[in-house]
Amino acid sequence: MPANVDQYVEENRERFLAELIELLRIPSISTLPEHQADVQQAADHVAARLAEAGLDNVEVIPTERHPLVYGEWLGVPGKPTVLCYGHYDVQPPDPLEEWETPPFEPALRNGNLYARGAADDKGQMYTHIKAVEALRAVTGTLPVNIKFLIEGEEEVGGASIARYVADNGEKLRADVALVSDTAMYAEGMPSLCTGLRGLIYAEVSASGPARDLHSGLYGGAAPNAVYGLIELLAKAKDDNGFIRIPDLYEDVEPPAPEEKASWQELPFDESEFLEKEVGAPALI
């Protein structure tokens, strides 16, 4: 990165911080209907920052629930296109008594900015926008084409963005998608997170006797639906944590030697991890 880009960032540090604080003050809680106007305000704020950064075709896109925000800069034909994703909605801040300062009154402490959304995901998303602004302000261009798609429903499942992406493949076509909704592995260590553990949701119903039965008379003889569910869960893994569901591992590739070697270079302290993050006496 050119040194004058760093200079631009330094010269505009206070403005950048003030803009971020303004965004963090908006209680854009997507899960609560009473904050619908706040969510809309946050979307409008993000759209305004995209336009100020020099993005073209900036739009706030209505959905069945909360709006999407889109912007693009396609000034270097033939160069790769990067699609930047982020979200401006946040979770409810409960329990409030756990906060040292109010969640929507951003506070600087120990070199950190504390507020709901500062690290999930307003802060990260905002850095993408400011990076574009800085590069264009200093160099007049960008090294790649850029598209932004920022949503307001990440904390409630993202149904609207899922539909929009499916219906707008050509508009969103890109060579790579950049998502900054994770974390650096350690302070001062920029990290590329290439994957997270996924989730599978399932609902299992078990039925037993046709009516309530007295355990003193029928226990041990009549089937117990609750025990059946417990037994099912117990059999899902073996004693070593291996999932016993058939074919689950069929398409899973083991980590490459290079990946394993890179893990060994990370500043990982198991005792500190257990004490400060997990809160358990041992790992599995």
Location of structure tokens 């506070």: 107
- Label residue 195 by pLDDT band (50, 70, 90): confident
Place 151 in a pLDDT band, splitting at 50, 70 and 90.
very high
Tell me the CATH number for domain 215-278.
Answer: 3.30.70.360
Cα distance between residue 243 and residue 258, in whole Å: 26
CATH superfamily of 3-179: Zn peptidases (3.40.630.10)
How much is the average pLDDT of 189-207?
Answer: 85
Query: pLDDT tens digits for 209-236?
Result: 999 999 899 988 999 999 999 999 999 9
| Cα torsion angle, 28, 29, 30, 36, sign | negative
pLDDT at 242 over 70: yes
Averaged pLDDT of the chain: 94
pLDDT at 2 (0 to 100) = 65
Picking from 72, 86, 82, the residue whose alpha carbon sits closest to that of residue 176 is 82
- The residue extents of the domains of the chain are 3-179, 215-278
Q: What is the pLDDT of residue 182?
A: 84
- Condensed to tens digits (0 to 9), the pLDDT of residues 23-42 reads 999 999 999 999 999 999 99
pTM higher than 0.85, yes or no? Answer: no
- pLDDT tens digits, 108-125: 999 999 999 999 999 999
